[in-house]
């Protein structure tokens, strides 16, 4: 487990400090991985590493300051677009092809201008230029954000991050965190979209003060991102283009299926649990 608090060093700069508890599931190798990647990657929508400390089995990361505030639609839209641009950089534009694997709401920090910063690269994996997919027997992450192919078989790819991005978009639009172990939120979003009642999914605190076409498009993109078949999920470049207003024909999303009843029922995170008897696909 990690906590993030604001700090202010002697030079007066406002920072956020992430402190890992002694009971954290993050191993030393993962902490080092996070430090190395955060130091090498440079993008306005990725958190900037200012320093780190390892002392007496305590681990700290200092990054740019976070902020909490009531979010109107324009801010929410900017957050969605910023996260998409950050992922596009990781997947396609960075010198290092990176799969984040830990994308969730608590790993999106906001600076003083409400710009989103993707953080926590402890689970991130580097891919070769021509590498498409990786496999692992150690399934780690937060339930609800992990793609079905990762939970069930251990396969991960850029499409795994895109699934997590879709969940984040639905959370941002609805104002609700995805804590439904039976995917009720995802199923509700698709059902309302399919019944032409998409706006019933939108956060009521927005009081209908938003452009309908823009909100509908964000939900449509999110539903494409959370499709069970990874091959049907859009690329990050297509998502960014659509969010930026380019004329792109968005296909009809298929309904999300419940895939995890036999893996996790009441817990929010899989932690360090592993899945055996993997069945890799061709």
The number of distinct structural domains making up the chain is 2
Overall pTM surpassing 0.85 (yes/no): no
Do 13 and 87 belong together in one domain?
A: no
Q: Check: CB of residue 57 under 8 Å from CB of residue 22.
A: yes
Domain span including residue 18: 2-64
Q: Rounded to an integer, what is the distance from CA 135 to the centroid of its chain?
A: 19
CATH number of the CATH domain containing 9: 3.30.200.20
For residue 268, is it within any domain?
no
Do 197 and 140 belong together in one domain?
A: yes
CA separation, residue 52 to residues 22, 60, 164 (Å): 16, 5, 27
Do 113 and 156 belong together in one domain?
A: yes
Do 172 and 196 belong together in one domain?
A: yes
Q: Rounded to an integer, what is the distance from CA 169 to the centroid of its chain?
A: 9
Do 59 and 87 belong together in one domain?
A: no
For residue 250, is it within any domain?
no
For residue 265, is it within any domain?
no
pLDDT tens for each residue of 45-63: 887 766 666 655 554 454 5
Do 39 and 174 belong together in one domain?
A: no
Q: Among the three residues 22, 41, 64, which one is the final residue of a domain in this structure?
A: 64
For residue 195, is it within any domain?
yes
Instruction: Please enumerate in sequence order all residues whose Cβ is within 8 A of that of 139, keeping only pairs 6 or more positions apart, or say none.
Output: 146, 150, 151, 154, 270, 273, 274, 275
Kindly state the average pLDDT of the residues 81-92. 96
pLDDT tens for each residue of 145-184: 999 999 999 999 999 999 999 999 999 999 887 554 446 7
């Amino acid at each position: 487990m990690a906590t993030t608090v604001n700090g202010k060093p002697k030079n007066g700069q406002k920072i956020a400090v992430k402190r890992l508890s002694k009971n954290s599931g993050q191993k030393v190798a993962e902490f080092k991985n996070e430090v190395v990647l955060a130091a090498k990657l440079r993008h306005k929508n990725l958190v900037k590493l200012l320093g780190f400390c390892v002392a007496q089995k305590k681990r700290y990361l200092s990054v740019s300051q976070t902020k909490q505030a009531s979010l109107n639609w324009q801010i929410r839209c900017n957050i969605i677009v910023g996260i998409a641009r950050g992922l596009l950089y990781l997947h396609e534009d960075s010198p290092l092809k990176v799969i984040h694997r830990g994308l969730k709401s608590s790993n999106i920090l906001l600076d003083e201008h409400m710009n989103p910063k993707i953080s926590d690269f402890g689970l991130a994996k580097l891919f070769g230029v021509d590498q498409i997919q990786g496999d692992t027997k150690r399934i780690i992450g937060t339930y609800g954000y992990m793609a079905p192919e990762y939970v069930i078989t251990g396969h991960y790819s850029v499409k795994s991050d895109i699934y997590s991005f879709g969940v984040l978009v639905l959370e941002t639009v609805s104002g609700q965190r995805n804590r439904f172990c039976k995917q009720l939120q995802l199923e509700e979003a698709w059902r309302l979209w399919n019944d032409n009642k998409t706006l019933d999914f939108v956060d009521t605190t927005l009081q209908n003060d938003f452009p309908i076409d823009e909100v509908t498009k964000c939900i449509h993109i999110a539903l494409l991102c959370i499709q069970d078949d990874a091959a049907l999920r859009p690329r990050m470049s297509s998502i960014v283009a659509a969010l930026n207003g380019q004329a792109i024909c968005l296909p009809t999303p298929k309904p999300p299926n419940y895939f995890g009843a036999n893996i996790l029922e009441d817990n929010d995170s899989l932690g360090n649990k592993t899945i055996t008897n993997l069945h890799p696909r061709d």
